[in-house]
Structure 1
Amino acid sequence: MTASGDGIGESGGVKDPAPVRTTAPLSDLPVPVPAPARAAGSAGRPRSESVLGRGYLALTLGIVSVVFLIAFEATAVGTAMPVAADELDGVSVYAFAFSALFTTSLLGMVVSGQWSDRSGPLPPLAWGIGSFAAGLVLSGTAATMGIFVAGRAVQGIGGGLVIVALYVTVSRAYPEQLRPTVLACFAAAWVVPAVVGPLIAGSVTQHLGWRWVFLGLPLLVAVPLAVMLPAVRRAASGPPPGDPAPDAADRPGQGPAGRTRLKFAVALAAGAGLLQYAGQELTLLAVLPAVAGAALLVPAALRLLPHGTYRAARGLPAVVLLRGIAAGGFVVAESFVPLMLVSQRGLSVTMAGLALAAGGATWALGSFTQSRQRLGPYRERLARGGMVLVTAGVAYTPAALAESVPVWTLAVAMAVGCYGMGLVISSTSVLLLQLSAPEEAGKNSAALQMSDSLSNVVLLAVTGAAFALCGGGSVSVGAAGSGSGSAGAAAAEGRPLAFVAVYAIAALVCALGVAVAGRLGERT
């Protein structure tokens, strides 16, 4: 499961992933709402006691179906990708099929944030779902690897538009008391795809061909469109209430503020792409794209993320930073587990993958735990406790290098870490919406998702370089979350120090997150 358990996968792992995530039935998630409570943009609607009550049923099912579709794509296409690359004679550019989706999704996130703050979440949501489906069709009908990668890029734009628009929809359509439950539904929607997605994709690839893995998914788009868009139109369409912020007053990409943010978004995507390329090469020739990528990415990130993010300023900046720390640190750990078990413990790829199998359920369970209304006042403690569990799980992982340590203990450690991630990821989402004015929900939601994605690529590049320098061989950053546990196994064999280096970095990053989690509340 990726860190983006409530969103887009394939960036390496929230989840989210990559990449990727049983909890109690959603109908068992009642959250009482005081009568005076009103969600922005839905005044006058009857308040129901549950996200599955009459007033929210269509909207909730629509949102969950969209997340389910994205999760299924993220977990399924990785199985078909090697076959597609081989048939299209594109193995040499295989990693670009992943990085193209990631880099364009960053651009889509920024555009969606502006668009949602200006016109409401409905336009970017509709265009995002359409673009996502169009990208799948383009890749599924591709005659060359270039067209296939282009389809992945279109798909990434759609995914970036959708995930931010979904956050704004939650902010606008649901009262504050129901938001933790809705976000828990995001994580729950990943559980079934995480379990059956690769199996279904493998069967379809074997019997019908890899193209149908891509072409079959757009057929499911009609369901969320028909169910959700009318409900979004009723509950969350139009400009936000209150005076628009300066950034939100401009149409996406138009006006001084809009054009400036769009330029920084392009620079951010280009810089991330160059860093991914440098991380894949790991040669002296990769220094130039690495420097160029950092020169583009760092200034753009500083302008697009909330002021004070990288010094963990209290409140919103610390929330955004914690999301990146948690996602990046855990995705690094999760991505190297199959490779470590295959090369160091002699497990098959299938058995190595099973070490992560329980993570989907415990991630959803952690997200469910934070949705309990009685725990609402302890949101910051939940996030900090979650980071402690994540750090413990990551720090224990290299112990499995020792033959005397049973592999099942590693599976338990990763399950504990996933439970902590469920607490942290959902809690940061809830806190972000609490700390965001209605007219800035889009911009801030985009910042949260960018922090998640950027930390993945940066930390995977750093740990990939450390892995290579310690004799582990080259690891493709772009395909780190593709589930290819055997990649580089021969090079890594007999090099346990390389894995120790990776997990030392990941554990230190997660430990930093424990400290940052103490700064989530605004100073009183």
Structure 2
Amino acid sequence: MTVDEASATGAIPAPPRARVLDPAHRWISIGMCALVFLAAFESMAVTAVMPAVAAELDGQALYALAFAGPLAVSVIGMIVAGNAADRGCPRLALFASVALFVAGLLIAGTATGMWQLVIGRLVHGLGGGGLTVALYVIVARVIPAALQPSLFAGFAAAWVVPSLVGPFISGVVADGVGWQWVFLGVVGLVVPALAMVVPSLRRMRVEVPAQRPPWRVSRIAWATLAGVAVLVLNLSTEASGWAGWMVPLAAVVVIAVAVRPMVPRGTLRAVPGLPATVLTRATLSGAFFGAQVYLPLLLTGEPYRLSTAMAGLVLTLSGVAWAIASQVQGRNPERLSHEACLRIGLALLGVAIAGSLVATILGLPPVAFMLTWSLAGAGMGIMYPRTTVIGLQSSSAENQGFISSAMTVADALGAAVTIALSALVFALLLPLGAVTAVAGGIAVALGVWAAGLFTGLRARVEAPEAAALEIG
């Protein structure tokens, strides 16, 4: 039917459905997904090869710190990037974050000792934290709310290829030409990706508040204190006697105090609405990544003795499941409510972690971990994007940076603290055997999931005016 025929009959054709790849959003969407792709590749690759890196550099004592450290310092990058975005500078936040990310990869890729590798991880963790917040704010300011679930599904889809080839390729590279190229090779991909994004960012109109908020120096200081406390918590595995329990306790208290100015009021009490949503992000990240870091260590050691590439297959299947589930929720934003996605995802994640714990204790074959961790990825994929949308739909232009940084701070500290606590249990149980120690670490992640089950049922969208009252 033509337009004239439609007019003659009184029928008005429906306007075409907007999509994230429409001309108005195409290049900025592709560019942001490319950056997510590279961050995903680095994450999947490093997780798979870290057992081999720690063995070659004689750095098993720093294994957990190599994961928790970047997450801890990323909080600083998140706070700075969020404040810069609220002041109308999301481009600057993005460019500075990418520069730090690349510098850290170069330091880690040229490491001759475990401490240099950890320092490199800290530097690119700082950049990675800022990168995530900058992208979230750009999404909130450029992409219509109705398209945001689809774009975040695209972010998850950007994990598909890294999940398919990242762990396997990194294992082949580490076994062949050396693990250093797992870091250095990513650098060569970041530069062209950023070059593709720059033209789109230049054309992007950024809303600058009439009165720019001041630089939140106090929040940056609190973020630094929280990062230092997480590092101390990781290093406390070397303490003995009274310090062996006093130092971790003091570190946890400092983290709880330091995080309060960086998140909405009531977050630590799981107040229903935005605060509970932010705390849910912390528990989800803690439960998932707190268990995942030990799976390659288990599968490459006794009794399995798998190659780095084969152990990485567990991460591959999980990443693919995450992306597929994220696509499912993104295509059904009306049929699947935020609350339904959270309940389904929490159930899948809980079954997955409990199943992995049972498989570890009983010594089940590797296929058991492939199945359980695929469930974990599916659970994260269906609920994780919705927590992001809840946060953005509860924000306004004046506080998008703060809320975006609060969610990513929760991601980082939730994972970092869980990994640190699991490392304490791992070190305590290690004299009983590596398998027992891994089971203890996974049990800590299961406990964090139980806390997420409570907070997830209280997460929901708030009106921006109500959410603004919870921001200090």
CA change 1:231–1:363 in 2 (3 A) is same
Identity %: 35
Distance in 1 between the 2:98 and 2:62 partners? 27
Counterpart selection for 2:376 from 417, 424, 427:
417
Any idea what SS the aligned residue of 2:342 has?
A: helix
| TM-score, reference length from structure 2 | 0.84
| TM-score, reference length from structure 1 | 0.76
Are 2:449 and 1:521 equivalent residues in the alignment? no
Q: CA offset at residue 444 of structure 1? A: 1.0
Deviation digits for residues 277-327 of structure 1, max 9, x if unmatched?
12x436334445424423432211122111111211121101101111111
Deviation digits for residues 67-124 of structure 1, max 9, x if unmatched?
1111122223456666766777867656554444333211101111101111231110
Please say if residues 323 and 451 of structure 1, whose CA atoms lie closer than 8 Å, have aligned partners that are also in contact.
yes
Q: CA offset at residue 460 of structure 1? A: 2.4
CA change 1:206–1:378 in 2 (3 A) is closer
- For 1:177, the aligned partner's letter is A
What does residue 466 of structure 2 align with?
Answer: none
Are 2:272 and 1:303 equivalent residues in the alignment? no
Counterpart selection for 1:492 from 434, 441, 447:
434
Are 2:107 and 1:138 equivalent residues in the alignment? yes
Please say if residues 166 and 316 of structure 2, whose CA atoms lie closer than 8 Å, have aligned partners that are also in contact.
no
Distance in 2 between the 1:269 and 1:379 partners? 31
Aligned ranges for residues 314-353 of structure 1 at < 5 Å? 314-339=272-297, 346=304, 348=306, 352-353=311-312
Distance in 1 between the 2:97 and 2:438 partners? 38
- For 2:454, the aligned partner's letter is A
Distance in 1 between the 2:55 and 2:438 partners? 29
Distance in 2 between the 1:341 and 1:205 partners? 16
Distance in 2 between the 1:144 and 1:467 partners? 23
Q: CA offset at residue 62 of structure 1? A: 0.5
CA change 1:239–1:383 in 2 (3 A) is same
- For 2:396, the aligned partner's letter is A
Counterpart selection for 1:263 from 201, 211, 221:
221
Deviation digits for residues 175-230 of structure 1, max 9, x if unmatched?
00110111111111112112322333344445544444333322222322222122
What does residue 195 of structure 1 align with?
Answer: 164
Q: CA offset at residue 134 of structure 1? A: 2.2
What does residue 43 of structure 1 align with?
Answer: none
Counterpart selection for 1:506 from 445, 448, 460:
445
- For 2:196, the aligned partner's letter is V
Please say if residues 390 and 461 of structure 2, whose CA atoms lie closer than 8 Å, have aligned partners that are also in contact.
no
Are 2:207 and 1:249 equivalent residues in the alignment? no
Aligned ranges for residues 155-194 of structure 1 at < 5 Å? 155-194=124-163
Distance in 1 between the 2:226 and 2:238 partners? 20
Please say if residues 87 and 208 of structure 2, whose CA atoms lie closer than 8 Å, have aligned partners that are also in contact.
yes
Distance in 2 between the 1:346 and 1:76 partners? 20
- Paired residues in the alignment total 448
What does residue 30 of structure 1 align with?
Answer: none
What does residue 56 of structure 1 align with?
Answer: 25
Any idea what SS the aligned residue of 2:272 has?
A: coil
CA change 1:147–1:264 in 2 (3 A) is same
Distance in 1 between the 2:204 and 2:165 partners? 33
Aligned ranges for residues 29-428 of structure 1 at < 5 Å? 49-78=18-47, 96-141=65-110, 147-240=116-209, 249-251=213-215, 258-278=216-236, 280-281=237-238, 283-284=240-241, 285-287=243-245, 289-339=247-297, 346=304, 348=306, 352-375=311-334, 378-401=337-360, 408-428=367-387
- For 1:514, the aligned partner's letter is L
Distance in 1 between the 2:64 and 2:438 partners? 22
Distance in 2 between the 1:504 and 1:86 partners? 25
CA change 1:151–1:503 in 2 (3 A) is closer
What does residue 425 of structure 2 align with?
Answer: 466
Distance in 1 between the 2:349 and 2:50 partners? 30
Please say if residues 370 and 423 of structure 1, whose CA atoms lie closer than 8 Å, have aligned partners that are also in contact.
yes
> Which ranges in structure 2 are unaligned for 5 or more consecutive residues?
1-13, 464-472
CA change 1:191–1:263 in 2 (3 A) is same
Please say if residues 168 and 313 of structure 2, whose CA atoms lie closer than 8 Å, have aligned partners that are also in contact.
no
- For 1:438, the aligned partner's letter is A
CA change 1:98–1:327 in 2 (3 A) is closer
Q: Determine which structure has the larger helix proportion and give its number.
A: 2
Distance in 1 between the 2:344 and 2:170 partners? 36
- For 1:187, the aligned partner's letter is A
CA change 1:406–1:310 in 2 (3 A) is same
Across the aligned residues of Structure 1 and Structure 2, the Cα RMSD in angstroms comes to 3.2
What does residue 485 of structure 1 align with?
Answer: none
